[in-house]
Amino acid sequence: MKNIIDFDRFPLDREGSADWTALVERSRAALAADGMYDLEGFLLPGVAERATAEIKPVMDSRSHEHRRVHNIYFKPEIPELPAEHPALRKVETIGHTICADQIPDSILLSIYEYAPLARFLAATMGKPDLHMMADPLARTNVMAYRSGEALNWHFDRSEFTTTLLLQAPDQGGVFEYRTDLRSDDNPNYDGVSRLLEGNDPQVQAKRLKPGTLNVFRGKNTAHRVTPVAGSRERMVAVFSYYERPGVVFSAEERLGFYGRAA
Ligand SMILES: O=C(O)CCC(=O)C(=O)O
Ligand SMILES: [Fe+2]
């Protein structure tokens, strides 16, 4: 791993050391204040490019094209809202996905499986432990957004989302987010409506660099990736960890996300 992760800046290999603890504290503080932290330069120079080169042939030939018209909740309806409520405005997402089982023995999966990474993430999130998923498809996914493609506004199902940007596009593909647009107690449908109308001044934008590890509170922070332009696709890995071991998706979930159950 010492040829992959920049341990000088991000001492995941020295758990419990003063440097490790300082990094955990800094990350926790950013999560509390902004709902997000990112570790720019997490991967050593050239590693994101090498990881991308391993994945690109699979992405080019065997990815699942994901095209969906959805609302910000990714749900067909919200029982307490009429169907025409502006918080349920429809948006479109288009992208390409590959799953962990398609990239065995890759640099990317070796990072996902590096146990000190899960322990570091858990510490920053204030959790006792995080476990890799047992799902051979869902544990790690790579999403590509090509020219004209985008991930539209949504809230995530999980409390936190961990991504690693592998390749930045020529233009567009900006990560936009609105911290704490809702809370577990307050759905803030009026605020959601304003965001979808393009009238939320608190939206922030982040242009991530390849090799950056990003952690954000996606459950109540609305976020999207703006449309990509140019010939280079945006490629991002999403790592899935859970507080309990052995988590798998149902066949229906796999079909919905990946177009196949196994
Ligand atoms: O592509 C990104 O940067 C964000 C990914 C994301 O929001 C998700 O997978 O839910
Ligand atoms: Fe998300």
Smallest CA separation from ligand 1 atom 9, residue: 238
Q: What is the rounded distance in angstroms from the CA atom of residue 190 to the CA atom of residue 176?
A: 19
Residues 6+ apart with CB under 8 A from 261: 251, 254, 255
Burial of 126 (0-12, 13-18, 19+ CB in 10 A): exposed
Q: Judge if ipTM > 0.95.
A: yes
Q: What is the rounded distance in angstroms from the CA atom of residue 101 to the CA atom of residue 232?
A: 24
Contact residues of ligand 1, CB 6 A cut-off: 143, 151, 156, 161, 163, 175, 218, 223, 225, 236, 238
Smallest CA separation from ligand 1 atom 10, residue: 156
Please answer whether residues 52 and 166 qualify as being in contact, where contact means their C-beta atoms are separated by less than 8 angstroms.
Answer: yes
The model's pTM: 0.94
CA angle 244, 245, 247 (to 5 degrees): 90
Burial of 164 (0-12, 13-18, 19+ CB in 10 A): buried
258: left (phi over 0), alpha (psi -120 to 50) or beta: alpha
For residue 163, the CA-to-ligand 1 centroid distance in Å is 7
Nearest atom in ligand 1 to 224's CA: 7
pLDDT at 157: 86
CA 43 to chain centre: 16
Mean pLDDT in order along the chain per 10 residues (262 residues): 98 98 98 94 98 98 95 93 95 96 98 98 97 96 97 92 97 95 96 97 95 95 96 97 94 92 92
Residues 6+ apart with CB under 8 A from 199: none
Distances (CA, A) of 25 to 12, 130, 135, 214: 13, 18, 31, 16
Nearest atom in ligand 1 to 145's CA: 1
Residues 6+ apart with CB under 8 A from 22: none
State which of 153, 161, 215 you would mutate to test the pocket of ligand 1, scoring each by most atoms of that ligand within 8 A of its C-beta.
Answer: 161
State which of 225, 234, 239, 240 you would mutate to test the pocket of ligand 1, scoring each by most atoms of that ligand within 8 A of its C-beta.
Answer: 225
Domains of the chain plus CATH, in order, are: 18-258 (2.60.120.620)
State which of 175, 181, 239, 240 you would mutate to test the pocket of ligand 1, scoring each by most atoms of that ligand within 8 A of its C-beta.
Answer: 175
